[in-house]
């Protein structure tokens, strides 16, 4: 696998990440990877790098970038919103589709946690026909939780007293709360007509019901794989192996190069 820097402008700021390429000249089927809230383009314990390696071994490239205010990208974490991430993602995807090493007719989306919410809305709202959508540990509860005055089990009171919420040592401002209050997680995802695979662990702090509800949204286009013992970040080797293998097989099966229209 070859790793090359990736960067593009979106919403007037620079987003930075990496492109992972299989051997050969390309262009390649390509998966775009959306990381979780507060994470970076490599994900927790390099989860996205592990996926990229397996995809490259299967002849599939991938691109992952830090969303605004995350990792090495510009912007402030204080200002982050899901709607803003979605707008930026549309611009980033057009830049990715224009890369010489990317087969723009064979693009796939993968999201972890809040990144899966971003990916699902982008898939539904884009004119580009993405070949598949894979959602890991979907954090579809975020809007309900924030409307209830909480974030990952902690009260958001300090947004009112201190002007920010302390999220893993980073200041999160009120824009995230304001955006979440009217964000329709399932309604905005409903327009995607391609195949969907959800993977969710029984030890995830996000209740399984939030993943199950996507089956109502997508109907028979979607399947949910429940992995016994897996936590939110897929931090155990056996469960992570299941996650990666079932994701790669799904993307391979949805690729036109394997006979799909």
Give the tens place of pLDDT for each residue, 102-119. 999 999 999 999 999 999
Q: Look at residue 260 and tell me whether its pLDDT is greater than 70.
A: no
Q: CA 98, CA 100: separation in Å to the nearest integer?
A: 6
| Residue 257: band (very low, low, confident or very high) from pLDDT cuts 50, 70, 90 | confident
| Residue 261: band (very low, low, confident or very high) from pLDDT cuts 50, 70, 90 | low
pLDDT tens-digit profile of 161-180?
999 999 999 999 999 999 99
Q: Are the CB atoms for 135 and 196 separated by under 8 Å?
A: yes
pLDDT tens-digit profile of 243-252?
999 999 999 9
Q: Look at residue 1 and tell me whether its pLDDT is greater than 90.
A: yes
Q: What domains can be seen in the chain, in order of their start residue?
A: 2-140+193-258 (3.40.50.1820)
Q: Look at residue 225 and tell me whether its pLDDT is greater than 70.
A: yes
Look at residue 47 in the predicted model and tell me its pLDDT: 98
């Amino acid at each position: 696998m070859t790793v090359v820097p990736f960067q593009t402008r979106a919403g007037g700021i620079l987003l930075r990440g990496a492109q992972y390429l299989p051997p050969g000249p390309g262009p390649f089927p390509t998966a775009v990877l959306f990381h979780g809230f507060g994470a970076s383009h490599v994900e927790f314990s390099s989860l996205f790098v592990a996926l990229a390696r397996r995809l490259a071994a299967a002849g599939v490239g991938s691109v992952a970038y830090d969303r605004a205010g995350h990792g090495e990208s510009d912007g402030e974490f204080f200002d982050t919103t899901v709607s803003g991430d979605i707008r930026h993602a549309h611009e980033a995807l057009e830049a990715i589709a224009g890369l010489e090493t990317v087969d723009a007719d064979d693009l796939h989306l993968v999201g972890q946690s809040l990144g899966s919410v971003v990916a699902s809305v982008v898939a539904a709202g884009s004119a580009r026909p993405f070949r598949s959508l894979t959602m890991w540990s979907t954090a579809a509860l975020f809007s309900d939780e924030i409307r209830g005055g909480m974030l990952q089990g902690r009260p958001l009171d300090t947004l009112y007293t201190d002007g920010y919420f302390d999220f893993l040592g980073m200041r999160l401002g009120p824009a995230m709360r304001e955006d979440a209050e009217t964000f329709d997680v399932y309604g905005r995802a409903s327009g995607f007509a391609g195949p969907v695979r959800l993977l969710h662990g029984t030890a995830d702090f996000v209740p399984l019901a939030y993943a199950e509800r996507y089956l109502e949204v997508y109907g028979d286009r979607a399947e949910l794989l429940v992995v016994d013992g897996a936590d939110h970040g897929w931090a155990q080797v056996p469960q992570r192996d299941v996650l990666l293998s079932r994701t790669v097989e799904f993307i391979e099966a949805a690729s036109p190069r394997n006979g799909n229209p």
